[in-house]
A and B are shown apart, each in its own frame.
Chain A
Amino acid sequence: MPLKVDLRSRAASPAVTQTINQPFRPLPYVLLLASLAFIFIIEFYPFINGVSFSFHKGSLLSTGAFVGLGNYLRLFNSPSFYNSLWFSFIFAFFNVLVSYVLGLALALFLDPDFPGRGFCRVALLVPWIVPAVVSIVSWKWLIADKGGLVNVILGSFGAGPIYFLSQSGWAMVAVIVIKIWRSFPFMMLSLLAALQVIDKTYYEAARIDGANRWQMFWRITLPHIKNISIIQAILMIIWSINDFETPFLLTQGGPSNATENLILLSYRYTFGRNDVGLGSAVAILTLILLMVLSTIMMRQQAKSA
Chain B
Amino acid sequence: MKPNRKWLLLFLGLVIVLIVDFPIITVILNSFRTTETIVSSHSILPTEPTLANYLFINTRTHFWTFLLNSMIVAFTSSALAIVLAALAGFAMSRYRARILGGYNQALLIVQMFPLILAIIPLFIFFRNLDMVNNFIPVIMVYTVTQLPFATWMLRSYFDSIPRELDEAATVDGCSPLRAFVQIILPLTVPGLVAVAIFSFLFSYNEFFISSVFLRDENRMTMPVGIQSFMQQYSTDWGSLMASATLGMVPTLILFFCIQKYMVAGATAGAVKG
Q: Is A286 in contact with chain B by the CB < 8 A criterion?
A: yes
From the candidates B7, B90, B248, name the one contacting A131 in the complex (CB within 8 A). Answer: B248
Q: Mark A220-251, 1 if CB is under 8 A from B, else 0.
A: 00000000100110010010011011001100
Q: Do A31 and B87 have beta carbons less than 8 Å apart?
A: yes
Q: Mark A262-277, 1 if CB is under 8 A from B, else 0.
A: 1100110011000010
Known contacts: A43-B144, A133-B227. The answer to whether A193 contacts B266 by CB under 8 A is yes
Partner-B contacts on A (CB < 8 A): 1, 3-4, 6, 10-11, 13, 15-16, 19-20, 25, 27-29, 31-32, 34-36, 38-39, 41-43, 45-47, 49-50, 53, 60, 106, 109-110, 112-117, 119-120, 122-127, 129-142, 146-147, 149, 152, 156, 181, 186, 189-190, 192-194, 196, 228, 231-232, 235, 238, 241-242, 244-245, 248-249, 262-263, 266-267, 270-271, 276, 279-280, 283-284, 286-287, 290-291, 293-294, 298, 301
Known contacts: A29-B97, A31-B87, A46-B118. The answer to whether A115 contacts B24 by CB under 8 A is no
Q: Do A114 and B116 have beta carbons less than 8 Å apart?
A: no
Known contacts: A1-B271, A4-B271, A125-B255. The answer to whether A43 contacts B113 by CB under 8 A is yes
Determine the distance from Cα of A41 to Cα of B95 in the docked complex, in whole angstroms: 26
Q: Do A127 and B120 have beta carbons less than 8 Å apart?
A: no
Most-contacted residue by chain B among A112, A134, A238 (CB, 10 A) = A134
Q: Do B124 and A60 have beta carbons less than 8 Å apart?
A: yes
Q: Do A127 and B117 have beta carbons less than 8 Å apart?
A: no
Which A residues touch B241, using CB under 8 A? 137-138, 141
Which B residues touch A47, using CB under 8 A? 113, 117-118
Which A residues touch B187, using CB under 8 A? none
Q: Do B16 and A280 have beta carbons less than 8 Å apart?
A: no
Report the minimal beta-carbon distance from B33 to chain A, rounded to whole angstroms.
11
Q: Mark B103-125, 1 if CB is under 8 A from A, else 0.
A: 10010111111111111111111
Known contacts: A28-B95, A47-B117, A130-B252. The answer to whether A228 contacts B140 by CB under 8 A is no
Report the minimal beta-carbon distance from B270 to chain A, rounded to whole angstroms.
4
From the candidates B21, B99, B120, B270, name the one contacting A123 in the complex (CB within 8 A). Answer: B21
Q: Is B23 in contact with chain A by the CB < 8 A criterion?
A: yes
Determine the distance from Cα of A34 to Cα of B147 in the docked complex, in whole angstroms: 11
Determine the distance from Cα of A202 to Cα of B91 in the docked complex, in whole angstroms: 39
Which B residues touch A109, using CB under 8 A? 9, 12-13, 16
From the candidates B163, B205, B273, name the one contacting A301 in the complex (CB within 8 A). Answer: B273
Interface size class of B (residues with CB under 8 A): 35 or more
Which B residues touch A46, using CB under 8 A? 117-122, 125
Report the minimal beta-carbon distance from B155 to chain A, rounded to whole angstroms.
9
Known contacts: A131-B247, A271-B212. The answer to whether A117 contacts B159 by CB under 8 A is no
Q: Do A130 and B88 have beta carbons less than 8 Å apart?
A: no
Q: Do B88 and A137 have beta carbons less than 8 Å apart?
A: no
Of residues 41 to 98 in B, which have CB atoms within 8 Å of A's CB atoms?
Answer: 42, 44, 83-85, 87-88, 90-91, 95-97
Q: Is B151 in contact with chain A by the CB < 8 A criterion?
A: yes
Q: Do A283 and B120 have beta carbons less than 8 Å apart?
A: yes
Report the minimal beta-carbon distance from B190 to chain A, rounded to whole angstroms.
17
Known contacts: A245-B208, A263-B116. The answer to whether A28 contacts B244 by CB under 8 A is no
Q: Is B17 in contact with chain A by the CB < 8 A criterion?
A: yes
Q: Do B120 and A112 have beta carbons less than 8 Å apart?
A: no
Q: Do A114 and B6 have beta carbons less than 8 Å apart?
A: yes
Q: Do B39 and A146 have beta carbons less than 8 Å apart?
A: yes
Known contacts: A6-B156, A112-B1, A149-B44. The answer to whether A42 contacts B118 by CB under 8 A is yes
Determine the distance from Cα of A34 to Cα of B160 in the docked complex, in whole angstroms: 24
Q: Which residue of B lies closest to A141 (CB)?
A: B237
Report the minimal beta-carbon distance from A10 to chain B, rounded to whole angstroms.
7
Q: Which residue of B lies closest to A26 (CB)?
A: B97
Q: Do A122 and B120 have beta carbons less than 8 Å apart?
A: no
Main DSSP-derived SS at the B contact region: helix
Of residues 116 to 169 in B, which have CB atoms within 8 Å of A's CB atoms?
Answer: 116-125, 127, 140-141, 143-144, 147, 151, 156, 159-160, 163, 167
Determine the distance from Cα of A242 to Cα of B44 in the docked complex, in whole angstroms: 35
Q: A34-B87, A46-B118, A290-B112 are in contact. List 15 more A-B contacts (CB 8 A).
A: A16-B96, A28-B100, A46-B119, A109-B9, A119-B13, A140-B230, A156-B42, A181-B20, A190-B266, A190-B270, A231-B270, A270-B120, A280-B121, A283-B117, A291-B112
Q: Do B14 and A134 have beta carbons less than 8 Å apart?
A: no
Q: Do B96 and A19 have beta carbons less than 8 Å apart?
A: yes
Q: Is B26 in contact with chain A by the CB < 8 A criterion?
A: yes
Determine the distance from Cα of A123 to Cα of B151 in the docked complex, in whole angstroms: 28
Q: Is B201 in contact with chain A by the CB < 8 A criterion?
A: yes
Report the minimal beta-carbon distance from A142 to chain B, rounded to whole angstroms.
6
Determine the distance from Cα of A39 to Cα of B21 in the docked complex, in whole angstroms: 37
* Interchain Cβ contacts under 8 Å between A and B, 25 examples: A6-B156, A11-B96, A27-B91, A28-B91, A28-B95, A32-B87, A32-B99, A38-B84, A39-B106, A39-B144, A42-B143, A50-B120, A123-B20, A124-B20, A131-B222, A133-B226, A138-B23, A147-B40, A189-B266, A235-B269, A238-B111, A238-B112, A270-B116, A284-B117, A291-B112
From the candidates A1, A131, A284, A298, name the one contacting B223 in the complex (CB within 8 A). Answer: A131
Determine the distance from Cα of A130 to Cα of B262 in the docked complex, in whole angstroms: 14
Report the minimal beta-carbon distance from B111 to chain A, rounded to whole angstroms.
8
